[in-house]
A and B are shown apart, each in its own frame.
Chain A
Amino acid sequence: MALGQSNLPCEPTPGFGGVLLGGVVARFVADIDEEMIPDVKALTHELETGRRVPQPRLRFRLQVDTIGLDAVSHRLVANGDLLAFEFDDRGAPEQQILGAVYAAAELTPSLRRPIMTVIRRAIAWSGPVGPELIASLSGFRGAVLGSRRAVGDPVQWALSCLGLPTATSAPSPKDVQRNYRERLREVHPDHGAEVEGAAQRIAELSEARRILIGR
């Protein structure tokens, strides 16, 4: 197998690119022999540190020559603010996993480490490959689902979520806390807000606060 063209924006990490690579791994990891999983993890560590890796891995050899080979493409697409994977199921699952890991290894050293961490998180994923996975790979906690805006720029999403000026990159903890409390009152059913979807909205506010002030 060989690597082809990619568009993997990974900043701020993991970005859409990291989420896509993690999604590919999570999609195909259940289809490979369980005994191969330690080798996949070992490969991520070897590539993360830029070490030369012996070939073949998982019984497939990485090559540079692409003549006569078929392209397999995976995409992360946005319908409005909703992100979704579009997987190409052609090829053995081992190739899909290797493709994602080797594509991550092509990233700059500063991005390689966090994206390999995302890939290892994806290896351990056992839930559905959908919005919950996107949120988890993006580092969101609680019931927050990964939206295009949140994954693309978590800080801007958090500022917007709490009604803070989006031109501010580092609002004061006092402002964050004040807006968090105000918004919480607006969405909490105890203060007259709708019950349906309240848990999700509250979780988003809490996550936005955590992103901005780490609590």
Chain B
Amino acid sequence: MSTAGAFLLAPGAGADRHHHTLCAVADAMAPFPFVRHTCGIQKHLKAITGDVTWLTVPGAYDPRG
């Protein structure tokens, strides 16, 4: 767990009213690996061990028709 991740998930930091803020901060920090605050308020903590992103045309053309 990174220091930033530990800070975000400090006891008491996951109160309901802060949930979306924590998720937004966590998303903004991607793609660095850290423990992410997800749905369920401290019940389901996930460490992102790897991620990959590519970009496509919105409503991408599907060659299969």
Contact = CB atoms under 8 A, between A and B. Distances in A.
A57 to B, nearest CB: 12
B11 to A, nearest CB: 19
A2 B54 contact: yes
B56 A91 contact: yes
B48 A72 contact: no
B50 A75 contact: yes
Contacts, number: 116
Contacts of B12: none
Contacts of B56: 1, 69-70, 72, 90-92, 95
Nearest to B36: A77
B51 A7 contact: yes
A95 B48 contact: no
The range of chain A's interface size is 35 or more
B47 A92 contact: no
A20 B33 CA distance: 14
- What's the dominant secondary structure at chain A's contact region? mixed
A139 interface: no
Given A7-B50, A76-B49, A152-B49, A1 B64 contact: no
Given A7-B33, A92-B60, A77 B52 contact: no
Given A69-B58, A70-B56, A70-B58, A75 B63 contact: no
A79 B62 CA distance: 34
Given A69-B57, A70-B57, A92-B63, A100 B49 contact: no
B15 to A, nearest CB: 22
17 contacts: A1-B57, A4-B55, A6-B53, A7-B31, A8-B52, A17-B50, A19-B50, A60-B63, A69-B58, A73-B52, A76-B48, A77-B46, A91-B56, A92-B62, A94-B63, A95-B60, A103-B54
Interface of A: 1-9, 15-17, 19-21, 24, 33, 58-60, 66, 68-79, 83, 90-92, 94-95, 99-100, 102-103, 148, 151-152
